[in-house]
Amino acid sequence: MSTTPAAHVIKPGWFTVNVVNRSVAWLTRRGVSVWGSRVLAVKGRKSGAWRTTPVNVLTLDGERYLVAPRGHVQWTRNIRAVGGGELHLGKHVEPFTVTEVGDDAKADVLRAYLKRWKAEVGVFFAGVGPDSTDEELRAIAPKHPVFRIDAAPHA
């Protein structure tokens, strides 16, 4: 598991923030999933207030994952601190917990994520793509947190 976050985060551009993210979030809030999109809601680690961001949920070998293409960002810090959150698709809300995937185990997940969404997020992966070697994927793994989505515990 990555214990030291990368020093820099690649910030999305104006178009991504103001057009792509808002459009995907708008559609997802209305129940339309765009290539696995959900709105992730996580309680802030300091404020306790709910924070939301659009995410792509990857399904691989019967497991679901959240990958942080932009690196160690606020939602990754919050989800580590609180241990889970909610995935929203329209009015459907799915509470969940997470298990962070260790860097050595990320290659297959990153490869599958890039195979599906490279056109959208490839710029954040420093030239590494779905056809890259395991060694190349492991080299960038510390910069991209990966969380396995687990079912929420029953109350």
Domains (ranges, CATH) in the chain?
14-151 (2.30.110.10)
Query: What CA–CA distance (Å, rounded) separates 144 from 122?
Result: 12
Report yes or no: 56 and 67 within 8 Å, Cβ to Cβ: yes
pLDDT digits (tens, 9 = 90+) for 82-122: 999 999 988 899 999 999 999 999 999 999 999 998 988 88
Give the predicted TM-score (pTM) of the model.
0.80
pLDDT at 120: 81
Beta-bridge mates of residue 80: none
Q: Whole-angstrom Cα distance, residue 80 to residue 96?
A: 13
CA torsion sign for 103, 104, 108, 111 is positive
Residue 108 near residue 60 (C-beta atoms within 8 A)? yes
**What percentage of the chain carries pLDDT values higher than 90?**
63
CA 50, CA 78: separation in Å to the nearest integer?
10
Our measurement of the distance from residue 53's CA atom to the centroid of its chain's CA atoms, rounded to an integer in Å, reads 10
**Tokens 């195979």 -> residue:** 115
The rounded distance, in Å, linking the Cα atoms of 149 and 69 is 16
